[in-house]
Amino acid sequence: MDGPAPIITILIVAVTALVSVRAFRDPWLRDKLIFAPEAILADREYYRLLTPALLHADAQHLIFNLLSLYLFGANLEPAIGWGHFLLIYGAAILGGNLLSLLIHRQHEYRALGASGGVCGVIFASIFCLPGGSIYMMLLPIGIPSWLYAILFLATEFMGMKSARSNIGHDAHIGGAIIGLLTATALEPEIVRWSPWLYATVMGLSVAIFAYLWWNPLHLPLRSFHGRGARRPVKEPPVPATARDVDAILEKISARGLHSLTDKERETLRRAAKKSIGDKL
């Protein structure tokens, strides 16, 4: 491959692999970095809008995401420079998680995976390196990149809306669109290279975001748990300890009852119910 080596792509792959493997064996680390709306909104742990990209559910999930990132990043980074590549990847992760936060802001929800950032890199590649094809497993021929972009948005939106799969489609869509918008800001000539495709993708994106803005909570609740390429993680309820209850009561005293998350309210309710049962 001609041109400079994709140093940042390789570095991202290496760091993500190291943290993911460590988190496989360290539940505390995973829980500290995982995407969790109540921790972001109530506890202001805003770093969780980026750190879930360092986590993966298992080895298969990790390998699939990092292989995709390397295959596309190895071509994109030398073409646009490491600084622009890093901005696109980071913005795509942030965009995917912000869309997830909009949709799941009132739900107990966990998710992890780098696929929002990967989708942003793929969409940036489609427009920064036009005229290519996307090769997918089980398909003997490549899909023209312009067709892939349109099909991607349509199928991801339908998958998110129907909730018949367990993939985090919201993060995929948010990552792809924010990645493309970031690439446009950094490399504005890409609009001129593919004007009709760009207009089509932006039109679909505006329609999707408009739907989600007006109707985010009408999505089927089944989609809020499961496993997939960007994998939501369903957490079983954990019995409340006296320390948990004390922490919640201190929070009420400091911030008021309205500051409690749904999870904390449920913990308090279960503790009160258990207390009454013990006295009876």
* DSSP assignment of 168-214: -HHHHHHHHHHHHHHHHHH-TTHHHHSHHHHHHHHHHHHHHHHHHHH
Task: Give percent of the chain with pLDDT exceeding 90.
Answer: 42
CATH number of the domain where residue 160 is located: 1.20.1540.10
Does residue 221 lie within any of the structural domains? yes
Task: Tell me the three state secondary structure of residue 112.
Answer: strand
In a shared domain, residues 94 and 156: yes
Residue 10 reports pLDDT greater than 90: yes
Is residue 264 located within the same domain as residue 133?
no
pLDDT tens for 50-72 read 999 999 988 988 998 999 899 89
- What pLDDT shows up at residue 269? 74
Do 22 and 63 lie in one domain? The reply is yes
Let me know whether 86 and 32 are in one domain.
Answer: yes
The answer to whether position 237 is within a domain reads: no
Same domain, 68 and 105: yes
Which pLDDT band holds residue 2 (cuts at 50, 70, 90)? low
Q: Is residue 1 in some structural domain?
A: no
Model confidence at 274: pLDDT above 70: no
Same domain for 102 and 127, yes or no, is yes
The answer to whether residues 179 and 262 belong to one domain is no
Q: Is 114 helix (H, G, I), strand (E, B) or coil?
A: coil
Same domain for 272 and 201: no
2 within some domain = no
pLDDT tens column, 67-106: 989 989 999 999 999 999 999 999 999 999 998 888 888 7
Which are the contacts of 21, defined by CB distance < 8 A and separation ≥ 6? Answer: 62
Q: How many domains does the chain have?
A: 2
Q: Which residues pair with 134 in a beta bridge?
A: 143
Which residue in the block uniquely carries the two structure tokens 């493309």? 180
pTM of the predicted protein model: 0.73
Compute how many other C-beta atoms are within 10 angstroms of the C-beta atom of residue 270.
14
**pLDDT tens digits along 148-199:** 888 888 887 777 766 555 567 788 888 999 999 999 999 999 999 989 999 9
What pLDDT shows up at residue 12?
Answer: 97
For residue 130, being part of any structural domain is answered with yes
User: Does residue 183 lie within any of the structural domains?
Assistant: yes
Q: Do 273 and 164 belong together in one domain? A: no
Instruction: Provide the percentage of residues in the chain whose pLDDT is more than 70.
Output: 79
Domain of 248? Answer: 242-279
